Structure 1
Amino acid sequence: MRDVIIIGAGGGGAVAAKELAAQGLDVLVIEGGPRHAKPREQWSRLENDANNPLTGYLRVGQEDRTKPAAYRELPQNSFLWQVSGVGGTTQHYFGNSPRAYPGVFTGYDGPDAALYDVDHRFPFSYADLVPYYEWVETTLPVQTAAVGTKESVYLQGCETLGLPVQKTKTTLEASYRPQENAILQPGGTAGRTNDANLLKYPQATGCTFCGHCFQGCASPDKAPRNLVAKRSTDNSYMPMALTAESWASGGKAVGLVTDATVTKIRTEKVKGELTATGVTWLDNPTGMVHTEDAKVVVMSGGAVENPRLWFNSDLPNPNDWVGRGFTDHYLDWTFGLFDENVGSSKGPASAARTEYPGYGMNMNVGLMPGIEAFTMTFSDSGIRDQYSNGRGMTGPWDGTTGRLVGPELKDVLSHGLDNILNVVSIVDDDVSPINRVTLSTLPADENGPIPKVRFDNRHRTSRSRRNREFLAHEAARLLKGAGAKKVYRMDWPALPLHVHSTMRMGDSEDDSVVDHSGETRAVKRLFVADNSALPNSVGGPNPTLTMQAMVTRISEHIVTRYFDGEAWVADGSPVISTDSRISRRLTELGL
Structure 2
Amino acid sequence: MRDVVVVGSGGGGPVVAKELAGRGLDVLVLEAGARHLRPEQEWTRLEDDANNPITGVLRVGPSRRSEAPWLRDFPQNSFVWQIAGVGGTTLHYFGNCPRPPAGVFAGYDGPDKAEYDTAHLFPFGYDEFRPYLEWVEQTLPVQTAPMGTKESFFFRGAEGLGLAHQTTKDVHGPAYRAQENCILQPQGTAGRTNDRLQLLYPDAQGCTFCGHCFQGCVEPRQAPRNLKARRSTDNSYVPMMLTADAWSQGGKAAELITDAYVVKVLMSNGEARGVVYRTPDGALHTVEAKVVVLSGGCVENPRLWFNSGLPNPNDWVGRGLTEHHLDWVFGEFDSYVGSSRGAGSNVRCDFPGYGGVENVCLPPALQSFAMTFSDSGISGVYDNDSGVGPQGADTLGRLVGNDLKGALSKVDNLLTALVVTDDDVQADNRVTLSSVLPSDEHGRVARVEIQHRKRTARTRRNRDFLAARSVELMRAAGARAVHRMDWAPLLLHVQSSMRMGLDPATSVLDSDGQARFVPRLFIADNSALANSAGGANPTLTSQALATRTAEKIFQTWFGGDPWVAAESPTSSIDDRVTAAVLDRGL
Q: Is the 8 A contact 2:390 2:484 kept in 1?
A: no
CA contact (8 A) 1:330 1:496 kept: no
Matched AA of 1:52? N
8 Å contact from structure 2 (residues 79, 491) kept in 1: yes
Per-residue deviation at 1:535?
A: 0.1
1:587: which partner in 2? none
Structure 2 CA distance for aligned equivalents of residues 282 and 150 of structure 1: 47
Shift of 1:571: 5.3
Check whether the contact 2:391–2:464 (CA below 8 A) recurs between aligned residues.
no
1:583: which partner in 2? none
Q: Please, which of 430, 435, 444 is the counterpart of residue 429 of structure 2? A: 435
SS of residue matched to 2:490: coil
- The two structures, once aligned, show a CA RMSD in angstroms of 0.9
For 2:488, the equivalent position in structure 1 comes to 493
Counterpart of 1:210?
210
Look up the SS of the partner of 1:488 in the other structure.
Answer: strand
Unaligned stretches of 5+ in structure 1? 573-591
The one-letter code of the counterpart of 2:232 is: S
User: CA offset at residue 395 of structure 1?
Assistant: 2.6
Question: Gaps spanning 5+ residues in structure 2: where?
Answer: 568-586
Contact 1:384 1:392 in 2 (8 A): no
CA distance, structure 2, for counterparts of residue 281 and residue 242 of structure 1: 21
Q: Which residue of structure 1 lines up, in the alignment, with residue 391 of structure 2? A: 395
- Could you tell me which amino acid in structure 1 is paired with residue 243 of structure 2? T
Which residue identity lines up with residue 272 of structure 2 in the other structure?
A
The 5 A counterparts of 1:326-405 are 326-390=321-385, 391=387, 393-399=389-395, 401-405=396-400
Which residue in 1 is equivalent to 2:66?
66
The correspondence of residues 527-566 of structure 1 with structure 2, limited to 5 A, is: 527-566=522-561
Contact 1:14 1:238 in 2 (8 A): yes
Cα pair 2:32 2:262 within 8 Å, conserved: yes
Aligned pair 1:519/2:514, yes or no?
A: yes
Q: How much has 1:288 moved relative to structure 2?
A: 1.4
CA distance in structure 1 between the aligned counterparts of 2:392 and 2:126, rounded to whole angstroms: 36
Percent identity over paired residues: 59
Q: 2:450 is matched with which residue?
A: 455
Any idea what SS the aligned residue of 2:276 has? Answer: strand
Mapped partners of 2:329, 2:266: distance in 1: 47
Mapped pair 1:302 → 2:297 = yes
Distance 2:296 2:63 in 1: 16
**Aligned residue identity for 1:279:** V
Letter in 1 for 2:333: F
Alignment partner, residue 257 of structure 1: 257
CA contact (8 A) 1:456 1:494 kept: no
- Structure 1 residues 185-264: aligned runs within 5 Å: 185-264=185-264
Which residue of structure 2 aligns with residue 578 of structure 1?
none
Q: Distance in 2 between matches of 1:92 and 1:370?
A: 15
In structure 2, the residue matched to 1:293 is 288
Aligned counterparts of 1:394 and 1:412: Cα–Cα separation in 2? 18
Match of 2:318, SS state, is coil
* 1:413-428 paired onto structure 2 within 5 Å: 413-415=408-410, 417-428=411-422
Alignment-derived partner of residue 478 in structure 2: 483
Partner Cα separation in structure 2 for residue 17 and residue 222 of structure 1: 27
Q: CA deviation at 1:459?
A: 1.0
Among 453, 469, 476, the residue aligned to 1:474: 469
Counterpart AA for 2:391: G
Q: Which residue is 2:571 aligned to?
A: none
Match of 2:273 in 1: 277
Residue identity opposite 1:549 in structure 2: A
Q: Superposition pairs for residues 65-104 of structure 1, below 5 Å? A: 65-104=65-104
TM-score (normalizing by structure 1): 0.95
Between the aligned partners of 1:102 and 1:203, the Cα distance in structure 2 is: 41
How far has the Cα of 1:392 moved from its partner? 5.3
Equivalent position SS for 2:3? strand
> Aligned AA for 2:416?
N
> How much does 1:138 deviate?
0.3
CA deviations 1:351-400 (Å, max 9, x no partner) are 0000000000000011011111111111111111111111352332103x
Question: Aligned residue for 1:156?
Answer: 156
Inter-partner Cα distance in structure 2 for 1:494 and 1:394: 18
Q: Which stretch has the larger CA shift, 354-363 or 68-77?
A: 68-77
Whether the 8 Å CA contact 2:302–2:318 is kept in 1: the answer is yes
- TM superposition shift of 1:501: 0.3
Q: Hey, what's the Cα distance between the residues in 2 that align with 1:460 and 1:561?
A: 39
Q: Secondary structure at the match of 1:510?
A: helix
Aligned to 1:49: 49
The answer for the alignment partner of 1:588 in structure 2 is none
Looking at structure 2, the residues matched to 488 and 508 of structure 1 have their Cα atoms a distance apart, in angstroms, of 42
**Native 8 Å contact 1:120 1:506 kept in 2:** yes
Give CA-to-partner distance per residue, 1:9-41, whole Å, 9 cap, x none: 010001011001001000000001100111001
Stretch of structure 1 that moved more, 71-80 or 556-565: 71-80
Provide the C-alpha distance between the structure 2 equivalents of 1:491 and 1:366, rounded to a whole number of angstroms. Answer: 18
State the secondary structure of the residue aligned to 2:4: strand
One-letter code aligned to 1:14: P
**SS of residue matched to 1:539:** helix
Separation of aligned partners in 2, 1:428 and 1:556: 28
SS in 1 for 2:501: coil
SS at structure 2 position matched to 1:367: coil
Alpha-carbon deviations, 1:434-491, whole Å to 9, x = none? 0000000110111000000011320100000000000000000000111111000000
What code does the residue aligned with 2:73 have? E
Are the counterparts in 2 of residues 77 and 456 from structure 1 also a CA contact under 8 Å?
Answer: no
Q: Which amino acid aligns with 2:262?
A: V
Conserved in 1, the CA contact under 8 Å of 2:9 and 2:295?
A: yes
Contact 1:382/1:392 (CA < 8 Å) preserved in 2? no
Partner residue of 1:508?
503
Cα distance in 1 for partners of 2:382, 2:92 equals: 34
Equivalent-residue separation in structure 2 for 1:71 and 1:397 (angstroms): 38
Q: What's the TM-score, normalizing by structure 2?
A: 0.96
Hey, what does 2:10 align to over in structure 1? 10
Runs of 4+ displaced beyond 4 Å: none
Task: Decide whether the 8 Å contact of 1:503 with 1:514 is kept in 2.
Answer: yes
- Number of residue pairs matched by the alignment: 565
Q: Residues 317, 392 of structure 1: CA spacing in aligned structure 2 closer, same or farther, 3 A cutoff?
A: closer
CA contact (8 A) 2:165 2:177 kept: yes
Counterpart for residue 177 of structure 1: 177
Show CA shifts across 1:38-70 (max 9, x none).
100111121011000011111011100000111
Report deviation, 1:78.
1.2
SS at match of 2:68: coil
| Partner in structure 2 of residue 40 of structure 1 | 40
- CA distance, structure 2, for counterparts of residue 356 and residue 513 of structure 1: 29
Query: What is the rounded CA distance, in whole Å, between the counterparts of 2:206 and 2:542 in structure 1?
Result: 24
